[in-house]
Amino acid sequence: MSSHTAHDEHHAHDDHHHGPEPGLMRWVYTTNHKDIGTLYMLFALLMFFVGGALAMGIRAELFQPGIQILEPELFNQFTTMHALIMVFGAVMPAWVGFANWQIPIMIGAPDMALPRMNNWSFWILPFAFTMLGMTFFIPGGAPAAGWTMYPPLVLQGGWNLAFMVFAVHLMGMSSIMGAINVIVTILNMRAPGMTLLRMPLFIWTWLITAFLLIAAMPVLAGAVTMLLTDRFFGTSFFNAAGGGDPVMFQHVFWFFGHPEVYIMILPAFGVVSQIIPTFARKPLFGYESMVYATASIAFLSFIVWAHHMFTVGMPLTGELFFMFTTMLIAVPTGVKVFNWVATMWRGAMTFETPMLFALAFVILFTIGGFSGLMLAIAPVDFQYHDTYFVVAHFHYVLVPGAVFALFAGAYYWLPKWTGHMYDEKLGQWHFWLSTISVNVLFFPQHFLGLAGMPRRIPDYAVQFADWNRISSLGGFAFGLSQLIFVYVVYKAIKGGEKATDRVWEGAHGLEWTLSSPPPYHSFNTPPKVTEAEAHS
């Protein structure tokens, strides 16, 4: 099947450029899914380090009790901006980058379905984050009320509110356009024979993620628009004196916010479901149940939002409803974890870097899932709410969860993207340093939270000093370890051992039938997909 490059020359029909345009403007004007995917991922990597620098500042301040380097106001700006940048600037764009690179080459399409809009959905982002980032330099500084933007606090800051609201609008536009493109590409551009239930799991999870984006992002846009009008146009949505209710914002926000966390984790499920079969050299156990479990999680994500607000004062029926629906999520998630483990059962396993990150994902994400189950119990949450236990929980699902899956996917497909094998030894170093330090960083935060340390506070009582110091040391180690990743990526782009088309001996799927790197226009000739080359 390596004759695709030859086909390419042959079928270069109506377009007179076979490859990229010359010069830097290639990246600005490009409509090519691989170029845009690369842009997304490099942007996400940059934001990962910007958000990471803010996290380093936070951990440095928390290294010992008292106020050392960040005044409380600036500390609040750091926590708020860290979250906004990591969620909207790092994890989400990274996944859209994966979608751009992988969807066409995994379903046998020439490109994404709507290439010009694809360019726009990326090129809005640098402007959105410029708008958000420049709030550090305007009167009143950056947003400081937390990424959840709760009124009335968020309405009491300086100039930043309007800039933050418009930045969020821009990010929403970008996400919605990206999601539309993903849905249309998957539904309309599959190669003959690529039936829905032959699609690789990564494609399935991204399709479902795209529906979540289309349903959730406009609601966030509505929520922040109401903040804007309450502040500048005299409305009373969140003002009880005028008949409004600040709690209402929390409901609207979390109606977006809970699906949002699945937007960040479902593609991770997809990537892990690609990698484990490859390195266990066995087909994925329970393919169809994986698809249905993903869809169930997506559906449930819309009826659990108020578990973020158990202590805000809800009627008892509300507490019970959201408690039980939240616990229900453990069922499809358990199906997934079971399937990953069953895939490995009696497999001929090897432990290259992608597999290591995928395995760490399964274990550490499950720890995050368990602490989530604890938080789901409303009466228990009354004690944990707004403590470091919550911080530990969502960092476990996001860092050794979503971010580790991103690393796993990056190592897995890097040879395909660059045409060169990455440095396996450095990859292993990156894995072990990250995995050890991430646990040193976040595991003690469970203890801090259970002992009552509140989140989003720059100072703390002395009894919390030891675990905070350990957590900070883990944080610095984790931050530094990520520089290895940058070097590995740089090295693979520059050169190295040539990657074969299939790269991994156990890999299945259309992307491995293309050359490494694939031709500029992926599948000009649609492949015929058989059951054997379908999902791994």
* Binding residue for other proteins, selected from 11, 18, 425, 498, defined by CB under 8 A: 11
Restricting to residues 327-386, name those near other proteins by CB under 8 A: none
In terms of CB distance, is 13 or 494 closer to other proteins?
13
Restricting to residues 117-146, name those near other proteins by CB under 8 A: 117, 119-120, 123-124, 126-127, 130-131, 139
* Binding residue for other proteins, selected from 80, 278, 301, 524, defined by CB under 8 A: 524
Sole window of 68-76, 88-96, 143-151, 176-184 interacting with other proteins (rule: CB under 8 A) = 176-184
Burial class (CB in 10 A: 0-12, 13-18, 19+), 241: exposed
Closest separation between CB of residue 111 and other proteins, Å? 5
In terms of CB distance, is 37 or 449 closer to other proteins?
37
Phi, psi of 440 (to 5 degrees): -65, -35
Site for other proteins contains 184 (CB under 8 A): yes
Q: Count, in order, helices (H) and strands (E) of the chain.
A: 18, 0
Site for other proteins contains 191 (CB under 8 A): yes
Sole window of 11-19, 264-272, 351-359, 436-444 interacting with other proteins (rule: CB under 8 A) = 11-19
Phi, psi of 144 (to 5 degrees): -135, 10
Closest separation between CB of residue 270 and other proteins, Å? 20
In terms of CB distance, is 202 or 523 closer to other proteins?
523
Phi, psi of 110 (to 5 degrees): -70, -30
Question: Residue 502, Cα to own-chain centre: how many angstroms?
Answer: 27
Site for other proteins contains 189 (CB under 8 A): yes
Restricting to residues 60-119, name those near other proteins by CB under 8 A: 109-111, 113-117, 119
CA terminus-to-terminus distance, the chain: 17
In terms of CB distance, is 5 or 229 closer to other proteins?
229
Sole window of 182-190, 273-281, 335-343, 446-454 interacting with other proteins (rule: CB under 8 A) = 182-190
DSSP 97: H
DSSP 367: H
Residue length of the chain? 536
Distance CA 28, CA 236 (A): 42
Closest separation between CB of residue 481 and other proteins, Å? 34
What proportions of the chain, in percent to the nearest 5, are helix, strand and coil?
70, 0, 30
Distance CA 381, CA 308 (A): 9
The secondary structure of 424-468 as a DSSP string is HHHHHHHHHHHHHHHHHHHHHHHHHHHTTPBSS-S---GGGHHHH
Closest separation between CB of residue 79 and other proteins, Å? 22
Site for other proteins contains 412 (CB under 8 A): no
Other Cβ atoms less than 10 A from the Cβ of 448: the count is 25
The secondary structure of 273-303 as a DSSP string is HHHHHHHHTSPPTTHHHHHHHHHHHHHHTTS
* Binding residue for other proteins, selected from 137, 313, 494, 531, defined by CB under 8 A: 313
Closest separation between CB of residue 427 and other proteins, Å? 34
Site for other proteins contains 311 (CB under 8 A): no
In terms of CB distance, is 237 or 404 closer to other proteins?
237
> Binding string to other proteins for residues 222 to 261, with x set by CB under 8 A, is what?
xx-xx-xxx-xxxxxx-xxxxxxx-xx--xx--x------
Measure Cα distances from 439 to 392, 393, 396 in Å: 10, 12, 9
Closest separation between CB of residue 383 and other proteins, Å? 20
Active site residues: 82, 111, 147, 174-175, 258, 260, 262, 273, 307-308, 333, 336, 455
Distance CA 120, CA 203 (A): 22
E strand residue ranges, 459-501? none
In terms of CB distance, is 156 or 236 closer to other proteins?
236
Distance CA 180, CA 207 (A): 10
User: Hey, CA dihedral for 489, 494, 499, 501, is it positive or negative?
Assistant: positive
Restricting to residues 12-51, name those near other proteins by CB under 8 A: 13-15, 17, 21, 25-26, 28-31
Closest separation between CB of residue 382 and other proteins, Å? 16
Restricting to residues 264-293, name those near other proteins by CB under 8 A: none
Closest separation between CB of residue 99 and other proteins, Å? 15
Closest separation between CB of residue 379 and other proteins, Å? 16
DSSP collapsed to 3 states, 205-266:
HHHHHHHHHHHHHHHHHHHHHHHHHHHHCCCCCCCHHHCCCHHHHHHHHHHHHHHHHHHHHH
In terms of CB distance, is 168 or 391 closer to other proteins?
168
In terms of CB distance, is 134 or 486 closer to other proteins?
134
In terms of CB distance, is 92 or 252 closer to other proteins?
252
Restricting to residues 202-221, name those near other proteins by CB under 8 A: 214-219, 221
> Binding string to other proteins for residues 452 to 491, with x set by CB under 8 A, is what?
----------------------------------------
Site for other proteins contains 176 (CB under 8 A): yes
* Binding residue for other proteins, selected from 85, 180, 355, 362, defined by CB under 8 A: 180
* Binding residue for other proteins, selected from 5, 67, 156, 159, defined by CB under 8 A: 159
In terms of CB distance, is 11 or 498 closer to other proteins?
11
Reference 211, options 181, 171, 179; nearest CA is: 179
Closest separation between CB of residue 522 and other proteins, Å? 10
Distance CA 507, CA 521 (A): 22
Distance CA 157, CA 227 (A): 12
